[in-house]
Structure 1
């Protein structure tokens, strides 16, 4: 049994990690300031973990909590491209200052490894597909810049302080517990809950834009592999976490129609500033170094997610936990 800390533990990905770790009998410490996270996401494991309502920038409070922790999963962020454009100051504070403060606290507490939630948005609008970790980065939005800066801090702390760090570039994560009631919510959460309510989904742009949608179970598996891999193989490195396939938003709508029972056409709106057109990952590096293999396909993930929202009618209307697309 190991001792883990999850920042952003009341969010979509953080709470999913917490549920998995608790199910495996590990000790779990959760940290979340509840600005975007919801305690309801942890209701089934709240009594089996230690939770602290804190901002990761509060080093004096966070550092003592990390004493004796083996691995920190750093999921805390304001994860939204549009929000970072509208309010770059708040986004900068959470995503850059928060990551820096967390690394200092982990260093001072003697944490062995930090696994960082990086973002595929770091690649920017490069036309080259699939995206691989050795290609130049070209972030567009403040959010993308901030998440890339976090990667550089991870690499710096690995080289300068000898801390083990691994950065995982998530590609469009979706699944249960992702809220859909905010303009910053994940596109699939909004599509699915809208279709189940027989409301036309809104596509920003012409619908040809494509994404490498990645079901949450694949992301949890990648985090666990990153936490346990040999340090000399992975420390200071960056890995794509995805399925290695892409689907356009129109294709996605067509796949969801028979699953949700919705048959009408989507609504089209103007493309959003800062969004990229196409994204697809090369996951060969994660396969080689981590032993990562996505176990849940896109279509299976859609079915699982639709089933969860169908059984949790109120989930889409709770305060949002957003994730950039």
Structure 2
């Protein structure tokens, strides 16, 4: 039975990934310091006999050495997310995302972990007008968060050159689904809009709403992680999206249709650091990982609405 360590296990992606790994027969250890993760996300995992949780900061070398001991696969999901948050507080984002990643990866290679899969972000591409975004493009990170994610993936990929550990970086494109936090000023757009519109409140769109995103349901991201860990590819970065895109105005239209509402959004000034368009070319992941996103935007949105109801 393989053993996996999931950092950020109390977060949105980390908790979903940990649960999926348990369902696949893995023994799973989770790490989180609850800076952004939520204890409620761990509730479905705590009763599982093959799940073990460590409350710790990923910058704590001794704690990471203990957590990663005897582990086959590392899934590094822990991060301080959000472009706007990183613009307001670059120190916290950089400390967690850069120093934390270095600490976790160093512990993993010292513990002879077989494979490390790290979470990167589509934000590394910046606001290039080229669509779709393909991995061979020049990256132009335009926020502290984007820069920290580029550091995360570059450090991980270099580890595959320097040490006896396979590494893969996954550039997530707007992952959404159950357990994503809808509260606060840094909440992701889909859970925040659903939460507001279920209460018949108007969502706020920053800008004209014609900015577009490759909204990707959580199950697709989980599958990409498993394929990356269990495959034989190393030292590569991959886009994880659906290969499509939806404008933010189109998102509101889709939510109105599925909720049976007729709510007009409020428009506010654009936020610094936000890119205009995000659209993934997923052909590399399809070819080398066998990645095939099975849950589309509409179905994912329907599942997510049901969760928040």
Structure 2 residue corresponding to 1:145, chosen from 147, 162, 187: 147
Between the aligned partners of 1:43 and 1:53, the Cα distance in structure 2 is: 14
Between the aligned partners of 2:288 and 2:25, the Cα distance in structure 1 is: 26
2:226 pairs with 1:224 = yes
In structure 1, the partner of 2:25 is: 25
In structure 2, the partner of 1:252 is: 251
Between the aligned partners of 1:18 and 1:74, the Cα distance in structure 2 is: 11
1:45 partner SS: helix
After TM superposition, the structure 1 = structure 2 runs for residues 94-133 of structure 1, keeping only pairs within 5 Å, are: 94-133=96-135
1:95 partner SS: helix
Between the aligned partners of 1:110 and 1:87, the Cα distance in structure 2 is: 35
1:43 partner SS: helix
Between the aligned partners of 2:44 and 2:151, the Cα distance in structure 1 is: 34
In structure 2, the partner of 1:37 is: 37
Between the aligned partners of 1:249 and 1:101, the Cα distance in structure 2 is: 37
In structure 1, the partner of 2:52 is: 50
After TM superposition, the structure 1 = structure 2 runs for residues 1-325 of structure 1, keeping only pairs within 5 Å, are: 1-48=1-48, 49-230=51-232, 234-310=233-309
Which 4+ runs in 1 deviate beyond 2 A? none
Between the aligned partners of 2:257 and 2:36, the Cα distance in structure 1 is: 32
Between the aligned partners of 2:20 and 2:42, the Cα distance in structure 1 is: 11
Deviation of 1:261 (Å): 2.4
The number of residues matched between the two structures is 307
CA RMSD of aligned residues (A): 0.8
TM-score by length of 1: 0.93
Deviation of 1:24 (Å): 2.1
Deviation of 1:45 (Å): 1.3
Deviation of 1:18 (Å): 1.1
More deviation, 236-245/41-50: 41-50
Between the aligned partners of 2:179 and 2:89, the Cα distance in structure 1 is: 25
Deviation of 1:143 (Å): 0.3
2:44 partner SS: coil
2:19 partner SS: helix
8 Å Cα contact 1:64/1:109 also seen in 2: no
1:79 partner SS: coil
Between the aligned partners of 1:149 and 1:36, the Cα distance in structure 2 is: 20
Deviation of 1:254 (Å): 0.5
Consecutive unaligned residues in structure 1, runs of 5 or more: 311-325
**1:230-266 Cα shifts (integer Å, max 9, x gaps):** 1xxx201000000000000011111110211221210
Consecutive unaligned residues in structure 2, runs of 5 or more: none
**1:11-30 Cα shifts (integer Å, max 9, x gaps):** 00000011111222210000
Between the aligned partners of 2:252 and 2:74, the Cα distance in structure 1 is: 36
Q: Which has the higher contact order (CA 8 A, sep 6+)?
A: 1
Between the aligned partners of 2:140 and 2:112, the Cα distance in structure 1 is: 34
Deviation of 1:162 (Å): 2.7
Deviation of 1:151 (Å): 1.0
Deviation of 1:50 (Å): 0.3
8 Å Cα contact 2:31/2:67 also seen in 1: no
